[in-house]
């Protein structure tokens, strides 16, 4: 077994600005926690610096004119045309260095995919990746370069079958659009319903175009969905669909913004369901390319990804400093000196309402797929 953890302190230091919720330093916090818990120093693991992706590879997901505009923005130019490409909004500010930063972040996901395909790695994790909202010719949702599309397209050149599983709280809209006519890619997204939250898409009816109908699987969830309901849907729908598809490689977008503490979303998960899901994904496919994604409570996001890395590598986190360093590494407000969150359950009439809505969604999928 060989696993690669992609990291560069230069990329983790990149700053979207004090008022922007996206904080690349989550990657640094994750790396530190992984070391502290002894899950990143094993012989079969490599920490590798992301390579800058060549233009030719960026073109797998983006248009020439978009890349030209992004490069100009990255050099510090501000011009009217950039708005046409979604650059210059509050979500996607015109950041100096964004082109270089993005192509390195994407380089890690791309290289992780090629290492897995070449048999040089079983597991690759890029906590600086997972930009599922970046479109061919426009930036949105904090995303500029779509590393996921680039990596999957690279895999398709070798005729590899990919299951893409997206557990970020937001719908993986741009990835879905790219592959909705492609039957070598199974796209599965579990997210807070587009009735309530950006990008306002990802309804169960969106199931793929002709020739690939059923290869797009959307599972929208009501606000306040908790671990119990989330896991139920995952086991009832997602697991059998992946088993049936039999992917060669599983791409997992592990956005951690579905956690109960996340300031931007309304799902109520703890990292207990996240870890169970990562465990199951690992059982379903031995080749996994995992990326970060959302996650705006940076300390809990780092805990979540540390656990994900440990599970993907089948190693047990051990805290040798417990009780001595206290909760400092977990953030000022952490209540426990453990990586695992306390359980959180929604109860009563509210839960019944959520269950009814989720049952309706599950019924559609069970019928459509004959599960
Ligand atoms: Zn998200």
Encode the chain (371 residues) as per-residue pLDDT tens digits.
899 999 999 999 999 999 999 999 999 999 999 998 999 999 999 999 999 999 999 999 999 999 999 999 999 999 999 999 999 999 999 999 999 999 999 999 999 999 999 999 999 999 999 999 999 999 999 999 999 999 999 999 998 999 999 999 999 999 999 999 999 999 999 999 999 999 999 999 999 999 999 999 999 999 999 999 999 999 999 999 999 999 999 999 999 999 999 999 999 999 999 999 999 999 999 999 999 999 999 999 999 999 999 999 999 998 766 555 445 555 544 555 678 888 999 999 999 999 999 999 999 999 999 99
Nearest to 358 by CA among 197, 246, 238, 225: 225
Give 13 Cα–ligand 1 centroid separation in angstroms: 20
Give 192 Cα–ligand 1 centroid separation in angstroms: 9
Give 235 Cα–ligand 1 centroid separation in angstroms: 22
Give 300 Cα–ligand 1 centroid separation in angstroms: 14
d(CA 207, CA 214): 5
Give 198 Cα–ligand 1 centroid separation in angstroms: 9
Structure tokens at 326: 């206290």
Give 216 Cα–ligand 1 centroid separation in angstroms: 18
CB–CB of 115/136 below 8 Å?
no
Catalytic residue numbers read: 133
Give 168 Cα–ligand 1 centroid separation in angstroms: 5
Give 144 Cα–ligand 1 centroid separation in angstroms: 14
């Amino acid at each position: 077994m060989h696993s690669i953890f992609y990291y560069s302190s230069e990329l983790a230091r990149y700053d979207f600005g004090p008022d922007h919720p996206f904080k690349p330093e989550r990657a640094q916090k994750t790396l530190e926690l992984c070391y502290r818990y002894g899950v990143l120093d094993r012989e079969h693991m490599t920490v590798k610096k992301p390579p800058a992706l060549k233009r030719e590879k960026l073109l797998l997901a983006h248009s020439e004119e978009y890349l030209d505009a992004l490069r100009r923005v990255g050099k510090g130019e501000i011009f009217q045309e950039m708005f046409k490409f979604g650059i210059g909004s509050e979500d996607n500010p015109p950041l100096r260095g964004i082109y270089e930063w993005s192509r390195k972040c994407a380089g890690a996901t791309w290289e992780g995919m090629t290492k897995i395909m070449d048999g040089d790695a079983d597991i690759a994790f890029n906590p600086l990746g997972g930009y599922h909202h970046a479109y061919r010719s426009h930036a949105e949702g904090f995303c500029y370069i779509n590393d996921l599309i680039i990596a999957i397209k690279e895999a398709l050149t070798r005729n590899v079958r990919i299951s893409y599983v997206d557990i970020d709280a937001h719908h993986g809209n741009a990835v879905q659009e790219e592959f909705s006519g492609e039957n070598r890619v199974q796209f599965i997204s579990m997210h807070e319903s587009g009735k309530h939250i950006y990008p306002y898409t990802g309804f169960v009816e969106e199931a793929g175009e002709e020739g690939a109908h059923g290869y797009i699987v959307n599972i929208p969830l009501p606000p306040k969905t908790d671990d119990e309901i989330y896991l139920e849907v995952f086991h009832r729908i997602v697991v059998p669909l992946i088993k049936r598809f039999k992917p060669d490689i599983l791409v997992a977008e592990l956005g951690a913004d579905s956690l109960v503490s996340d300031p931007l979303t309304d799902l109520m998960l703890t990292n207990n369901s996240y870890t169970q899901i990562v465990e199951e994904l690992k059982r379903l496919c031995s080749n996994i390319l995992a990326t970060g994604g959302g996650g705006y409570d940076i300390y809990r996001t780092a805990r979540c990804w540390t656990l994900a890395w440990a599970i993907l590598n089948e190693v047990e986190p051990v805290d040798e400093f417990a009780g001595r360093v206290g909760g400092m590494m977990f953030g000022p407000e952490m209540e426990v000196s453990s990586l695992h969150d306390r359980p959180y359950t929604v109860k009563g009439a509210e839960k019944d309402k959520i269950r009814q809505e989720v049952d309706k969604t599950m019924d559609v999928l069970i019928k459509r797929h004959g599960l």
